[in-house]
Amino acid sequence: METGVPICRCGLKAKIATSWTDDNPGRRFFGYKYYGREGHCRFFAWYDATLTPRARVVIVGLLRKVKKMERARRIERICWLCLLIFSITMVLVMK
């Protein structure tokens, strides 16, 4: 049997989720099991302790770097795909 999982106002076990806001990056919390569905009860309770200001700055900085690298990677993939399509087209046209 699970212990320490709070029960929301509907009588359901809360679901653990992770916040990705700039104020609470990576901080876990309990929320309504069916959050997002109509009529949800808005139950909310933090699971993890508050982040230190330094931890928050470091995590937010790392998340921004990851997002920037993912964006660059997507652009790189599109460039390679365009080059591939161009190359195939040229080979077919030159035949």
Per rule CB under 5 A, is residue 16 in the interface with Zn ion?
no
User: Measured from the CB of residue 28, what is the shortest distance to Zn ion in angstroms?
Assistant: 18
- Nearer residue to Zn ion within complex by CB, 25 or 31: 31
User: Measured from the CB of residue 3, what is the shortest distance to Zn ion in angstroms?
Assistant: 19
What are the DSSP calls for the chain, one per residue?
---S--B-TTSPBPEEEE--SSSSTT-EEEE-TTTTSTT----EEE-SPPPPHHHHHHHHHHHHHHHHHHHHHHHHHHHHHHHHHHHHHHHHHH-
- Nearer residue to Zn ion within complex by CB, 8 or 51: 8
Q: Are 42 and 32 in contact (CB under 8 A)?
A: yes
Per rule CB under 5 A, is residue 9 in the interface with Zn ion?
yes
Q: Considering only 3-11, 46-54, 64-72, 85-93, which stretch makes contact with Zn ion by CB under 5 A?
A: 3-11
- Nearer residue to Zn ion within complex by CB, 14 or 51: 14
Task: Please give the residue ranges that form the binding site for Zn ion (CB under 5 A).
Answer: 8-10, 32, 41, 43
